[in-house]
Every structure is written in C-alpha cells, then in structure tokens.
Structure 1
Amino acid sequence: MDRPARRKGLFLVITGAVLWGISGTVAKKLFQHYAIEVDWLVTTRLLIAGILLLTVQFFTKDRSQITRVWKNRRVAIKLVIFALFGTLAVQYTYMASIQHGNAAVATLLQYLAPVMIIIYLILRKQTVFTVQDLVTVSLALVGCFLLLTNGSVSQLSVPMPAIVWGVLSGVTLAFYTVYAVPLLKQYDSLVIVGWAMIIGGAALSFIHPPWQADFAGMPLEACLYLVFVIIFGTMLAFWFYIESLQSLSPKETSLVGSLEPLAAVLTTVLWLKEPFGIFQWIGTSCIIGMILLLALKKAPTNQKTNAAVS
C-alpha cells in the first residue's frame, strides 16, 4: 500500500472516530440546554443519515444493491430485525444514557460490547477462554467499577438511569455487531446500514414524528449543533470509517478508532465542564486499554464485519 493512500486512510479513521466522540457531547448539549428530546433526535438522525448513506451508495458504488436487498425475503426479514433491535436500539440506548448522564460515561459503557461478545462466543463454545481474554474482561470490569463509583463503594458517581441505558447500549451494540455479519457478507455496508437507519427512524417516527419540532423558535446555535450531530457525527463519521478500510487493515482501523471514547471524555470534561474524579480517569484508562488490547489481538477479522461497528 502506497504512503499517500495510507495517510488518507489514517486521516479518515481519525476524523471519523473524533467526530463520533464529539457528537455525543454535542448531543448532551442539545439535551441539557435546548430541551431537545431523545426520541426526536434519534428519529431525525437516523432518517437523514440513512438517506444520505444510500445516496452515496447510489452515486459511488453498485446502485442495484439498494433495491436488490429487498428481493430476498429471508434477507429482508434479517434486515428489519437488524434495523429495529440493532441500529435503532443501539442509537436510542446510547442517546438515552447521554441524556441521563454524560457522553463520556455513555461512550465508555458502550465500549463494553466487545467483552460481551467474547463472553457470548465462549458460552456458545465458538472460542476458548485465553489469558488475554482474562486480562481484557478484568480491565473492563475494573474500569467500569472505577468509572461509575469514582472509587467509593458507598455511592455511585453516575445516575442509575445513565448506567442502565449505557449497559443496554453495550448489549445492543454487541448484538448489532454479531448479527450484521451475514448481511455484510452479501451486500455493501452502506446499503445495510443505510436501510437499517431509515427503517429504525421510520419505526420511531410513530412515537415521535420528526416534523413535530419548534424549528422557528430554535436558536441558530442549536440548529448548527443538530447539523453537526446528524451530518458530521453520524453520516460522515460512518462513511469516513468504512472508507478507511480501503487503505488500512481492520486491526489498524479498530486501534485508531479507540480515539472515540477519548474524544468523548475530553470534550465532556473540557467543554461541558463535567466533573471527573481521579478514579474515573483511572477507570477510563482501563477501558481504553481494554479497547487497545482487543484491537491488537491477532485474530482473523472480516473487513466488512469491522465496518459495521459504531
């Protein structure tokens, strides 16, 4: 691989990961200062980002896949399940955790998903429990404990609803990642994730229609934040991530992708001025270390599978 292509790949994955991390903090700003509802933001975010991803597929890749995915009944059913219990579920639980807590904790809890996948594969006897798995799970558990308690067993430093939604976000992300494998072997990731976002957004529209918002009374600053979350934090972040796989290995992409929780933590602390104790910083370091350990693990990885994460 030539150096310009590699540099381009690194730029894309770094940008995508940072945009993902920052978008969570921006979403918290919208919840906290502009009374934007989680249901409305998730609905709008999914619908617009999904349409944009399919538009990219139409103009840059095999456009026939956009309709072909619906011609196989079994694939269509799997896609709907993936959309509702994967894409919609992970987006909603993540945003709900941010609303009740903050983007840093929500992102770090979501990154427990790889540990959940390891445990799932071991229980299904599809892999064996190794020393590295033991270290990984230990880092995750210790990091999670310190992050949520700040070293004090008598009280939680994070609201319980934020913890519940955050853990559910990790569970749904684990399902999202595992369930996507057969779909992504047959179709481009832009098609699968694009349609999944549209289906998820359409389903949530019955609860909170995206057009039910006071756009006239919304400050310009809030509108700009919305554009950032939808365009930069969702559509472009995902697109940049999958494009980076054209010039980087999945392992390298996963490794650099660990900048997402770091970006979420730093922006939460520095921009929103959220308090973060010394033990929470240690817990954060443990979880990021766990992510790096998983990324460096020598194991065969399907390129399209890796593209489904986040």
Structure 2
Amino acid sequence: MPLLQPPPYKPKFPLQSGHIQTIFPRLFRKVSLPPVVKRRIETPDGDFLDIDWHLASSTRLAVIAHGLEGNSRRPYVLGMARALVLAGWDCITYNFRGCSHEMNKKSGMYHSGDTRDLHTVLKYGLDHGIYEDAALIGFSMGGNHVLKYLGEDPEKVPSKVKRAIGISVPCDLEKSAMRLCDKSNFIYSNYFLRSLRQKVKIKNNQFPDLYPLDKLSSIKNIVDFDNAYTAPINGFADAIDYYRQSSCKQFLSKIKIPSLILNAEDDPFLTPECYPVQEAEGSQFISLQIPKYGGHVGFADIPIEKQLWSESRAVRFLNT
C-alpha cells in the first residue's frame, strides 16, 4: 500500500520533543480501568500467563501486547484497552513471562522473537466461541511480536484475525538495540537494565546454571545483556544472531491481513532502518504512517488525561 501521509497530529509545547513524549505520559498519565476478569492460563509447555480481560459484551476481541519490561497494567496498555472497550471491543491484555507479580516456572523468559505466548492468548480468547472477529495490537517489542507472528507462519494465524496494529515498532532490532546504547538514551537503557538485572537474580534462584550472577557486573548496555543471557538461553549464537532472526521486518512481506504501523519520526529508540517504507510500498496489506511527533509509545497531548492520538487512530483503523 502507498505510504500514508503524516497525520495533522501536533501536540502542544513541550510535547513536541521525542524524549518528553517518551517520558511524560509514563510519569503523569493515570488510567483507571479495572479488569473485569483476571485469569491465569496454562501454556502448552506447562508454564502460565496472567491475563486481564476487559469486557464490552462484544463479539470482537482485541489482544494487546505490551513492550520491553512492561506489563498489562501500564498506562499505555490500559489507555488502549479503555479506548477499544468504549469503541465496542473486548480486550485481553497479557503479561509476558516474568512480567506479572510471580516469576514463571520455566527457565526461559520472554524475548523479542518468541511469538508462542501471543498465539496461546489469542487462541484462549477465541476458543470461548463468542468472537466473530479479532485484532492484534502491540507496543514496541509487543509490536514486533504481532508483526512477526502474522508473517512468520500466516497459515497458523486464526482466520478470525482481521486487522493488526504495531505502535513504535523496532522493526530492525539490531539497529534499535544499537540506538539504545547511545549516550542520549542512557535513561531508558538504565531503566531497562535495572529491571532485567533484578529478574536475573530471581531466575538465578530457580536456574543458577542458566542465570549466573557473575556476568551482571560486566553488563553496560542492552546488547551486553542479550549477549550474556537472552541469546544463549534461547539458543542464539549471540545478540546479533538473536536480533537478526527475531526482527519482524523480514516477515512483513508475508503478512496477509490489513496491518498498520505507527512509528513517530522523533522516536528516540528507532533508526531509519526501523521505518519499513519499502516493505509498506510493496505490500497490499501493510500501511505505514510516520507522524512527526510522538516519541516512543507516546503520542500524548495536554491535558494528559485525554485519549491519546494513537488510541484514536487505532479505533479508526479497527472500526473502518
């Protein structure tokens, strides 16, 4: 599909900065949306996933995937769920392994290329037999999950999945990881690493051979972490091999349902390689829109309590 024109979205000062867009909503946006149903579901490999089910008495289901070191109760996830419930969608938001209140039982945690749990949650919702249509929405790493899932094995995707949206997607994981290592992004890098280090310590109690603590002292950035833990635990040669196998960009041409990618021009996590212009132009199913503003999973405005531009855009795309 042709590259979509940038939208007229222009936030008020000071939200015309990518860094402020990225940080401001995380600090000051509050979204109250208690889940109607909280459930723990079993995975095919004998582990568990914690999900929140937000109900609108609908025959349409949206599954929402959060980003790196997020969870189902983050404001950006709840804001999207609230917008969709008000627009007539049931929503399931789920926690990646290791991101709920209890550490998972199996040795592995989530990673950028593992789409098995997304499929498990989607099938769990659809197997209830009440939904005629479904949609997938992913933020950042969750967006990579969604797009990779749709393209890596299109025949596996349930036929009820009609549309998908990826927001702030690092379509080229290698380039995005290198960008996170920049000095300008040290706040985000330190935030992620602090959380990941704590999880390694917990997993060390379960699997000391797989999660040795002596590696932690040498980790300075996300690439170091993926070299030390993510890659070897999940069968990759190293971090670069992990990024190249897990990036959704190589799978976009195989996607067979209408899918929208929203990547802001001022996103501090993304490099030019993360904006799949050629892939969108060569596909009849992929639409890429690049707003001038929005940061990484931002798209806010003042007052901060209002519905985000990305939430309104998602509703328009799913309901059209």
Give me the TM-score of the superposition, normalised by structure 1: 0.28
Q: Which has the higher strand share?
A: 2
- TM-score, structure 2 as length reference: 0.27
Q: Which has the higher helix share?
A: 1
Structure with more contact order per residue of length (Cα contacts < 8 Å, sep ≥ 6): 1
